[in-house]
Structure 1
């Protein structure tokens, strides 16, 4: 499978990674999905200490331990579970990050994390302190590179401006959520990679289309699309690509952008994973097809969390 470089790092990741949040807590089934990903050429696995209160990291670490030197493991920090494990608070402080990384390393059964990401953030946070923690963890060898996972333009701009080692930002990005595109010039300028999560928009951009729509989506639509607009947009996409699966079109649209290092759809079954791999390995979209998709879909921007 094609690999791409994350930022200016020496991390080369498969163009489709595995978002591990949807693996579940069945150790055997999760292991089957991860092994299938490895067999299909995927070398990039994204988890977080938040997922299943750390159990996801444990499952991922166990499955990848035999091939640790052949894979890129990304995890996230910043969400602090309470003692009852029924909720969490936000903590981007240096003290918390430098303690949490050791817990993640233990669960992942590894000596280092390839990509350590701040799992959210607000403009009120002390970004300098957070960056100082990441830079120290690099020097100490606990992490190789760091990134953020944020949809907030003001947070993204701040880290891009002041974090010397910022490598990537993870954002939800799909044909139905093109808001990250306004930030691509910044990514290109700063040599920061976009890691795209949610590329099939909760299953709407698959052949099941609106069969995957929840009652909430049927009533309120999806993001800035009404349900009627969703119907029209998805039908127009099918008309534009009569000989290709919608899943393939969705992933190829994301992968057509040079800012994207990898897209990481989740997979809760082996079959779903194989469908995603097939879609990612499909024929790239040409310029006319990309223009057609952009004409059909909406190019919105983030209305909130913007600098004055």
Structure 2
């Protein structure tokens, strides 16, 4: 499995990581999948305290027991919730960030986090205070590096300007090319890596994707436009690749992207995701053709 440097850090992450939000409900199955991924060369696992209100972190912590030194562990915080209470609210305060990371460490059964990420955020946040929290956690040795998970260009620019983030997690796929317009080149120029989530567009960009297209469509694609695009991609891209592999290789083609984190709730999904690592890179002609077939979406609402 190819590994890429995450920003200016000394973290080298497998180009295909594991987004754990979709781990199966069965703890036994979840632990099996995580260990299968590690055995197949995955060293990058992304989770969040909010996923199933802490349960996913707890399961991941059990799965990596005895293997902590083999993986790069990423989690997120900022969505304030308390065990036993319903609901959550956005809280990027210094006090909560520092409280949340310690609780994540307990659930993950670790004494440090490799990559700690702000799980969202707006331009109205107390950004300086949030950055101060991250910097103090680095100094205290609780986290090694930090980043943000955001699709808001204005927020991302503020953190690039003011902080030492090494990564930005954002949704990026053939169906969601918004990062291309104003973010990918900017982040590459500033030595900040992209972690691409949602590379197969909720399964739409897969060989059985026609069965996964929502009736209301996806982003600014109607359901019919999704069907047309899937059919065209199957017809015109390299037949040696599954469509999901084409989708994963597409997001990895941009030099700003260090890793993509498709999820998997079943073993066959996991194996298919990992096989994309051995799939042929897209040619320049294929990338151009995919761009001509798909929409050059732009960030409009999320600023």
2:194 paired residue number: 194
Partner of residue 128, structure 1: 128
1:264-283 alignment to 2 at 5 Å? 264-283=261-280
Residues 14-34 of structure 1 deviation map (CA, whole Å, 9 limit, x = unaligned): 000000000033210001100
**8 A Cα contact 2:172 2:196, kept in partner:** yes
- 2:106 is aligned to 106
Partners of 2:83 and 2:113 lie apart in 1 by: 25
Q: Which residue matches 1:260?
A: 257
Q: Deviations over 1:184-204 (max 9, x none)?
A: 121012110000000000100
1:240 aligns to 2:236 (yes or no) = yes
SS in 2 for 1:199: coil
| Separation (CA, whole Å) in 1 of partners of 2:74 and 2:166 | 12
Query: Aligned residue for 1:155?
Result: 155
Correspondence for 2:167: 168
Structure 1: gaps spanning 5 or more residues: none
Q: After superposition, what is the alpha-carbon deviation per residue over 1:250-278, rounded to whole angstroms, capped at 9, x for unaligned?
A: 01101111000100000001111001111
1:83-104 C-alpha deviation (Å, 9 max, x unpaired): 5432111100000111111111
Correspondences of 1:1-308 after superposition (within 5 Å): 1-82=1-82, 84-163=84-163, 165-182=164-181, 183-213=183-213, 217-218=214-215, 220-241=216-237, 242-306=239-303
Structure 2: distance between partners of 1:44 and 1:225: 31
Q: Which runs of 4+ in 1 moved over 6 A?
A: none
Paired residues of 1:115 and 1:147 also in contact (CA < 8 A): yes
Q: Give SS of 2:66's match.
A: helix
Aligned-pair distance for 1:304? 2.2
SS in structure 2 at match of 1:65: coil
| TM-score for both structures, normalised by structure 2 | 0.97
Distance 2:108 2:71 in 1: 13
CA distance in 2, matches of 1:85, 1:53: 10
Paired with 1:112 and 1:55, the residues of 2 have a C-alpha distance of 18
How large is the Cα RMSD of the aligned pairs?
1.1
Contact 1:248 1:282 in 2 (8 A): yes
| Partner SS for 1:181 | helix
Number of aligned positions between the proteins: 301
Q: Which runs of 5+ in 2 are unaligned?
A: none
> Does the Cα contact within 8 Å between 2:241 and 2:279 map onto a contact in 1?
no
* Shift in Å, 1:280: 2.8
